[in-house]
Amino acid sequence: MSPRLGGLLATALLTLLLAACATASGGSGLTVFAAASLGPLMDELESAWLAEHPDLPLTVSTGASSLLAAQISEGAEPDVFMSADTLRPDELSAAGLTAAEPRPLAHNRVVLVAPAADARVTAPADLASPGTSIIGTVSASPIAAYATSTIRALAATMPDPAAFAAAVEANIVSHEDNVRTTLAKVELGEGDAGFVYHTDALASTAVRTVPLPAGVGAIADYGVVQVNDRAEAAAFVEWLAAPAAAAILERAGFEVDA
Amino acid sequence: MSLAAVGLTFLALPIVALLERALSSGGLLAAASGQAVRDALVLSLATTTISLSLVVVVGTPLALLLARTDFRGKVVAEALVDLPIVLPPSVAGLALLFAYGRSGLAGGALELAGVSLPFTTAAVVVAQVFVASPFYVRAVRSGFRSVDAEVEEAAQVDGAGEGEVLRRITLPLARPAMGAGLVLAWARALGEFGATILFAGAIAGRTQTLPLLVYGEFQASLDDAVAAAAILVLAALGVLLAVRLTHWPRGVGWFG
């Protein structure tokens, strides 16, 4: 075989391999983009889903809902997108990138956590103390928006709201990738406090919740939307509203509308 | 021949696509001169300058030691120097966190000395120095090794002291290698992402370098991300072309 022919064959073979890898992932099963805070639940949800649909395993990709939505905007086509807000699914739907209307999924609450082994932050007012390190999340993420509104609501309960808000803002030392990374940093003791979801705090043994005044913690409305136009994708979205899925969500600390 | 063409196209396409997107995007100029991109650019330039200075100051003697001296455990030392190259950057970031973080091995001692490293601009420098030094040390070490011992001996015969030999013979002869190592180390430091995002955080103006801005802004303002990415590509291309065109580091390791 001449070197030239050999080279052509090798190129063709490699290209075929690459194409095969690309299509194999979309073959059977469902691709799900899930908000980072849903990550810990996906195994349980998949087991329950497989009990009714054993031929549709889930391939899950988690991350900040803003990152996942940006990927969908740039051409990613998962079957289903589960977001930690309703803003992202609505935006995608308005842009014509979804196969159906977004639907509500569940509700989560934003809480303030501190390392279990550390006693620096015991009350919300400590957030404004000089030297307190607050771990934040990248500003585009849903948790960052919820944290901002929580801080604003908290400031309203303080004697000098503007000064409090400014002091807390100045104490934010990091913008982590997503809420799970923020939780990890607080668990490690690398920060004095951080805003995460109630479900994250519930599942963690290395953080303690710092009580917030009633009504201050923001409520997160999670939304789910079918992105790919497949019957299986629609079935999964339907199933998420069923009792089996609701039970799993509620056990983790989510609130599901009846 | 066709395989080579495929390889070259594969490498060129992403760059072309990025620059095409940057040029066709209407808001590019506005984004490039916006606060976020400017802050990140200044931070990237400032931190890499400091990092590279540290790398040269500490790396040159280290390279000389590894090139000239045999000592017990030298194999381990050489492995340690090479390690950051093969270590995934996120692993490096985690390791730095566990070493110099608040709850880290050296963290307690640092806190006592009043130094808190994580989430500061200093942390960005630490991450850059960690990942970039192997590139410099390796290049300079091979540079020192290639300095002809006969030339040095001739200088000594002519009455030059050890320090003078180093200053006037060894270092000048190793300069091409130092230059090559410097360029590689700078490129690595400029593009450092994984260790920085884990160890230093990503606050604008303080710890958000250009690569971190690209990643963070992808979710928020694509224009900002594309502008920052284009700047990085053009800077890297510029440096590489300048080095090639001036034939600066001749016959040295990666740059031959």
CB distance from A141 to chain B under 8 Å? Answer: yes
pLDDT band at B153 (very low <50, low <70, confident <90, very high): confident
Mean pLDDT on B144-165: 86
Lowest-confidence segment of A21-25, B77-81, B121-125, B234-238 by average pLDDT? A21-25
Q: Are B239 and B250 in contact (CB under 8 A)?
A: no
Best of B39, B119, B120, B219 to disrupt the A interface (most A CBs within 10 Å) is B219
CA A203/CA A243 separation, integer angstroms? 22
C-alpha distance from residue B102 to each of A65, A143, B99, B105 (Å):
29, 25, 9, 9
Query: Is residue B41 one of the residues assigned to a domain?
Result: yes
Q: What pLDDT score does B256 carry? A: 37
The pTM for the full model equals: 0.83
pLDDT band at A253 (very low <50, low <70, confident <90, very high): very high
Q: Which residue in chain A is spatially nearest to B7 when comparing CA positions?
A: A11
Percentage of the residues of chain A whose pLDDT score is greater than 90: 83
Query: Is residue B19 one of the residues assigned to a domain?
Result: no
Sign of CA dihedral A57, A61, A65, A68: negative
Which chain A residues are within 8 Å of B222, Cβ to Cβ? 70
Query: Is residue B3 one of the residues assigned to a domain?
Result: no
Query: Is residue B22 one of the residues assigned to a domain?
Result: no
CATH 3.90.700.10 correct for A3-107+222-252: no
Q: Are A103 and A234 in contact (CB under 8 A)?
A: no
CATH number at residue B161: 1.10.3720.10
CB contact under 8 A, A70 and B218: yes
Helices and strands (H, E) in chain B, number of each type: 13, 0
Q: Summarize pLDDT for B6-61 with one digit per residue, the tens.
A: 999 999 999 999 988 888 876 677 777 888 888 999 999 999 999 999 999 999 99
Q: What pLDDT score does B255 carry? A: 42
Residue A195 has pLDDT above 80, yes or no: yes
Best of A190, A192, A207 to disrupt the B interface (most B CBs within 10 Å) is A190
Which chain B residues are within 8 Å of A188, Cβ to Cβ? 97, 101, 103
Q: Summarize pLDDT for A46-83 with one digit per residue, the tens.
A: 999 999 999 999 999 999 999 999 999 988 999 999 99
Q: What pLDDT score does B240 carry? A: 78
Residue B250 has pLDDT above 60, yes or no: no
Residue B125 has pLDDT above 60, yes or no: yes
Q: Are B152 and B166 in contact (CB under 8 A)?
A: no
User: Which residues, other chains included, contact A75 with Cβ-Cβ below 8 Å and sequence gap of 6+?
Assistant: none
Q: What is the mean pLDDT of chain B?
A: 87
User: Which residues, other chains included, contact B110 with Cβ-Cβ below 8 Å and sequence gap of 6+?
Assistant: B100, B116, B117
Q: Are B201 and B207 in contact (CB under 8 A)?
A: yes
Q: Locate CATH 3.40.190.10 in chain A.
A: 3-107+222-252, 108-219
Nearest to A37 by CA among A171, A218, A191, A220: A220
CB contact under 8 A, B218 and A67: yes
Tell me the CATH number for domain A108-219: 3.40.190.10
Mean pLDDT on A88-96: 96
Mean pLDDT on B207-227: 87
Residue ranges of A 66-95 with Cβ closer than 8 A to chain B: 66-67, 69-70
Instruction: Decide: helix, strand or coil at residue A14.
Output: helix
Domain extent, residue B97, equals 28-255
pLDDT band at A254 (very low <50, low <70, confident <90, very high): very high
Nearest to A138 among B119, B216, B222 (CB): B216
CB contact under 8 A, A175 and B97: no
Supply the DSSP string of A141-192, one letter for each residue.
Answer: SHHHHHHHHHHHHHHHTSSSHHHHHHHHHHHEEEEESSHHHHHHHHHHTSSS
CB contact under 8 A, B97 and A190: yes
Total domain count for chain B? 1
CB contact under 8 A, A175 and B220: no
Best of B119, B196, B209, B213 to disrupt the A interface (most A CBs within 10 Å) is B119
Q: What is the mean pLDDT of chain A?
A: 91
Lowest-confidence segment of A148-157, A214-223, B64-73 by average pLDDT? B64-73
Query: Is residue B108 one of the residues assigned to a domain?
Result: yes
Mean pLDDT on A175-199: 94
Sign of CA dihedral A7, A8, A9, A12: positive
CB distance from A10 to chain B under 8 Å? Answer: yes
CA A222/CA A240 separation, integer angstroms? 12
Which chain A residues are within 8 Å of B201, Cβ to Cβ? 173-176
CB contact under 8 A, A175 and B201: yes
